Amino acid sequence: MNKFASRLRKEEKGLTLIELIASLSILSTVMIVLYGVVQFGFNSYHKITIENSLRDEGDLLMSSIIAELYELGPTKVSKVGGEVLLERDGLTHRISIEEGALHISDSSGGDGRIETASEVLDSSEIAVICPSGISECGSGLIEIKLELAQSYGGREQTMELSSKFGF
């Protein structure tokens, strides 16, 4: 290496073709490795960003259901078809998963769609578990299984969240 450097300083003629090809080969190998590392970093960043977004939206949907339960304080809860009905003093609130979204509506007939960037997949479900096994009950468990999906760059990423809480 010392001979090569001293020859370059003395002669100042430049590089030979073999030296140029060798240096370009080394440079291209290093650039390919750097490109792979940077590309992997960007893909990991986007994957983690989508996972965090899915987790945040799942928390939002779960807390919306919990808030509806505790604000209304239903005296009777039942499941009819794909909907959970919360009833108290003649008021009926509905919780359902349809058209790729969670819907929480009251007796006024509003849409009640909770907007998210994620799609709520059809495999998501809400179940009412009554202690005596009947279809309507005043106390029991609500079991929610949400499956959310978001796509980025042509790839779809899904996350399944499940929760149980009593009423």
Q: Which of 86, 41, 92 is nearest to 66 (CA)?
A: 86
pTM for the predicted model, two decimal places: 0.72
Bridge partners (DSSP) of residue 98 are 101
Other CB atoms within a 10 A radius of the CB of residue 101 amount to 17
Q: Which residue positions in the chain have pLDDT lower than 70?
A: 1, 4-5, 7-13, 109, 133
> In whole angstroms, how large is the CA radius of gyration of the chain?
30
Beta-carbon count within 10 A of 41 CB? 10
| pLDDT (tens digit per residue) in 53-81 | 999 999 988 888 888 888 888 888 888 88
**What one-letter code names the amino acid at 97?**
I
Q: Domain ranges for the chain, please list them.
A: 5-166
**In whole angstroms, what is the distance from residue 7 CA to residue 4 CA?**
5
pLDDT digits (tens, 9 = 90+) for 30-45: 999 999 999 999 999 9
126-146 burial: b if 16+ Cβ within 10 Å, else e? bebebeeeeeebeebebebeb
CA angle at residue 48 from 151 to 65, to 5 degrees?
Answer: 70
